Amino acid sequence: MEKAYGNLPQFELKDELDSYIEEIKIQGFTVVEDVLSLDDLREIKEKALSIYQKLENEYGKEYLIEINELDMLRAPLVHDPIFLKLINHKKINELLLRIMEQNFSLHLQNAIINRPSTIHHQRSWHRDLPYQNYVTSKPFSISTLACIDDFTKDNGATELIPFSHNLEKMPSVEYCEKHMTTAIAKAGSLIVFNSLLIHRAGQNNSQNLRLGINHMFTAPILKQQISLPEALSGVYSDDQELRKILGYDYQVPCSDREWKEKHYRRKYVDKI
């Protein structure tokens, strides 16, 4: 305990995870290093770019530009299991559970390809929970943005407005310019933040593209951006850890009968 007067309560850190949690709670974000290996990063990058290119050819570039979907790959884990490495990490899952104080599931997984000299849609300031301009005493959604490349000042590292998860309104242009910070991070790190924190992709002034893969883990009462159980057609539903994260356990029942059966199963069958 630091010397203090006035009966001042103080956070106490039990371990490394608590120090990340303290930063997320206070300033809205933290950087966790060394989450992904170099081999995984290489494979993730190669696959993300090739899946994206295939889809861009299929949809057509003009169409993607029109709907603000250029250089955005949604739910890559549906296309290749390598992307599961980004959502099923023991330390990160423990962090999520501890900070959210409840079960969670994956709301989205999106790869953002930040190319030199182009303005990505994610370059606009936003919260990952758009339209939700209020403050909560506990986070009900946490974003984990995986740095697949080094995130540098030059190549469009993410820009954040610290503490803005605790503001109902976006600060003035002048305030943002003065206080925004750039999340410089090594490839393999995760930028972990309260999804209400205001942020945007930086401008890429380098020669190379910069790849990030963002995730939102939310209280299961929130619906997913894309229904992963539907998109995966049941794949991984027999894996106890993954089925929870992917949302299989939290699908909306289609009828009163289904609701009752689900509750019966939970009480008498799943416990066995």
Ligand X SMILES: O=C(O)CCC(=O)C(=O)O
Interface residue list for ligand X (CB under 6 A)? 110, 112, 114, 122, 128, 158, 199-201, 212, 214
CB of 216 to ligand X, least distance (A): 8
For tokens 């371990």, what's the residue? Answer: 15
Burial of 118 (0-12, 13-18, 19+ CB in 10 A): middle
CB of 184 to ligand X, least distance (A): 12
CB of 139 to ligand X, least distance (A): 16
β-strand 141-147 against 159-160: which pairing, if any?
Answer: unpaired
If the CB atoms of residues 189 and 214 are measured against ligand X, the closer one turns out to be 214
If the CB atoms of residues 96 and 111 are measured against ligand X, the closer one turns out to be 111
CB of 47 to ligand X, least distance (A): 18
If the CB atoms of residues 201 and 228 are measured against ligand X, the closer one turns out to be 201
If the CB atoms of residues 192 and 248 are measured against ligand X, the closer one turns out to be 192
Amino acid at 106: L
